[in-house]
Structure 1
Amino acid sequence: MDIRQLARGSVEWERIERVIRTLAARHDREAVRVEFLDADNWLSTPCVIDDEWFIKIVSRQNALVHAVLTTGRNVGAFTSRTEGFFGRFDTPREMVEHEYEATQRMREIGVNAPRPIEAFEVNGLGVLVLEYLPEFESFEDVPAFVVENRSRELFEMLKTLHDHGLAHGDLRAENVLIYDDELYFIDATNVHENRVTETSAYDLACALAMLEPRIGARAAVDAAVAVYDPSALLRARRFLDFVRLRPDHEFDSTTLRSEVEKAADLGRG
């Protein structure tokens, strides 16, 4: 069994069936068609309803896994000489309500994200309902030239979040989608709202780390400095070692740090 599947666990069919019946009843539908997704996901059981809604079903075990990951990230933050700034959830309902609210807030400030429909609880399971985006591609899947062409746009979206006191907290290639020729953010995580300086710098470090293997350190930094000032890049540099600890980010931190420092020196000059 894949370790992600083991950690995620499985939700009994009877409980899933109750979720689907409840969702259909809430939207006055006698029946719905369900497609379960073979997603590489620790934190939910995902499915699509009637090619219209993307559903995340979150169990108590999912919430426990999230708490363990959050603890690890907060410990890792000490490598950047700062206290942890990731927030945990105590229940599946808290997890889905947070993602609903985070997605709504992104859309309110003009950042593309799937439209949130509702978040509720059924028999101890958290249920998040989002707009389904068919035929999207992630930054992980598109060719490098597409990533390079859209990289400045990525930083512009990120800065819009930061200018409004928000942060993504889990920026990875699979969480940046291209749909209908527009960029979308998905799967924002819980970070402390009173730590904007650190969370913004961490987001920026994650974006640079995500881009470096695809388009090179210089191109990634060039795209960032077109949007962010040198001081922001230097704050992000602090978090590169922390980001490198994550198994979902593999990048040349030495070269990236060097390009950040050169760009900051030029900006100050």
Structure 2
Amino acid sequence: MDIRQLARGTVEWDRLERVFRTLAERYDRTVVRVEFLEADNWLSTPCVVDDEWFVKIVTRQNALVHALLTTGRNVGAITSGTGGFFDRFETPLGMVEHEYEATKRMREIGLNAPRPIEAFEVNGLGVLVLEYLPEFETLEELPDEVVRELAPELFEMLATLHEHGLAHGDLRAENILRCRGELYFIDATRVLEDRVAETTAYDLASAMAVLEPRIGARETVDAAAEYYGSSDLLSAREFLEFVRFRPDHEFDTTKLRSEIEKVADLDRG
């Protein structure tokens, strides 16, 4: 069994049935049709219901794994010269309520995100219901030339998020979707609200880490520099090593650092 499957665990069928019966009752359906999704995901059991809703089912084990990952991320943040800024969840309900609110806030400030329907609890399980986006592609599935075209849009979306005092906290290729020709953010995690400078720098470093292997360091930094100043880029530079040690990012840290420093030198000149 894959380590992520082991960490995620499985949900007993009778508990899943209770979730789906509850969904049918809440949405006035006699029955619902469920398609479970294969997902590289540690933190929920994802499925599509009636081709209309994307549903995440979160267990206590998922919440525990999130807490362990949060501890590791905070240790990594400390090694980058700042205190930890990731926040944990105490319950499965807390996890889905956060994602519901985070998705709602992104839409309120004009960013693309799946429409949040509701978050609730069934028999100790957290249940998040979102709009289902049909025929989407993740950023990692797109050709390099398309990623190059979308890079400025990605940084514009991220800058809008940060201008409103928000952060994503888990920006990676799987959490950036293209649907109907536009980019969408999903799966924002919880970060401390009073650490805006650090979370902004971390998000920016993560975005550059996503793009560098696809379009190169120079084009990545040039696209970022359209929406972020040299001081922001230099702050993000301090998180590159931390981001590089995460298993879902593979990029050339040295080249990114060099291009960031070139932009900063030009600004100072």
Question: Normalising by structure 2, what TM-score?
Answer: 0.99
The residue type equivalent to 1:173 in the other structure is A
SS in 2 for 1:62: helix
The AA in structure 1 aligned to 2:173 is A
* Partner AA of 1:160 in structure 2: T
Note the residue ranges of structure 1 that are not aligned, 5 or more in a row.
none
**Distance in 2, Cα, partners of 1:17 & 1:268:** 62
Moved over 4 A (4+): none
Which residue is equivalent to 2:10? Answer: 10
Report the counterpart of residue 83 of structure 2 in structure 1.
83
Alignment of 1:7-86 (within 5 A): 7-86=7-86
- Cα displacement string for residues 73-102 of structure 1 (whole angstroms, at most 9, x for unaligned residues): 000111210000000001000000000000
Give aligned pairs, total.
269
1:112-191 → structure 2 map (5 Å cutoff): 112-191=112-191
**Aligned residue type for 1:81:** G
**1:165 match: secondary structure:** coil
Letter in 2 for 1:8: R
CA contact (8 A) 1:152 1:223 kept: yes
Any idea what SS the aligned residue of 2:119 has?
Answer: strand
Measure, in 2, the Cα distance between the counterparts of 1:96 and 1:268.
45
Per-residue deviation at 1:253? 0.2
Q: Who is 1:249 aligned against? A: 249
In 2, the alpha carbon distance for the partners of 1:264 and 1:146 equals: 28
SS in 1 for 2:209: helix
Shift of 1:69: 0.3
In structure 1, the residue matched to 2:99 is 99
Aligned CA RMSD, in angstroms, stands at 0.6
After TM superposition, give the deviation of residue 158 of structure 1 in Å. Answer: 0.1
**1:138–1:178 CA contact under 8 A, matched in 2:** yes
Question: Which segments of 5 or more consecutive residues in structure 2 lack a partner in the other structure?
Answer: none
Question: Following TM superposition, by how much is the alpha carbon of 1:2 offset from its aligned partner in structure 2, in angstroms?
Answer: 0.9
Per-residue CA deviations over 1:103-158 (Å, capped at 9, x if unaligned) read 00000000100000000000000000000001001110000011110000000000
For 1:220-269, what per-residue CA distance to the aligned partner results, in whole angstroms no more than 9, with x for missing partners? 00100011111110111111111111011111101110000001111232
Following superposition, the deviation at residue 209 of structure 1 comes to: 0.6
CA deviation profile, 1:149-193 (whole Å, cap 9, x unmatched): 000000000000000000000000111100000100000000001
Residues 1-46 of structure 1: per-residue CA shift (max 9 Å, x gap):
1111110000000000000000110111111110000111100000
Identical-residue share of aligned pairs (%): 76
Q: Report the Cα distance in structure 2 between the residues aligned to 1:234 and 1:148, rounded to whole angstroms.
A: 22
Does the 8 A contact of 1:33 with 1:50 survive in 2? yes
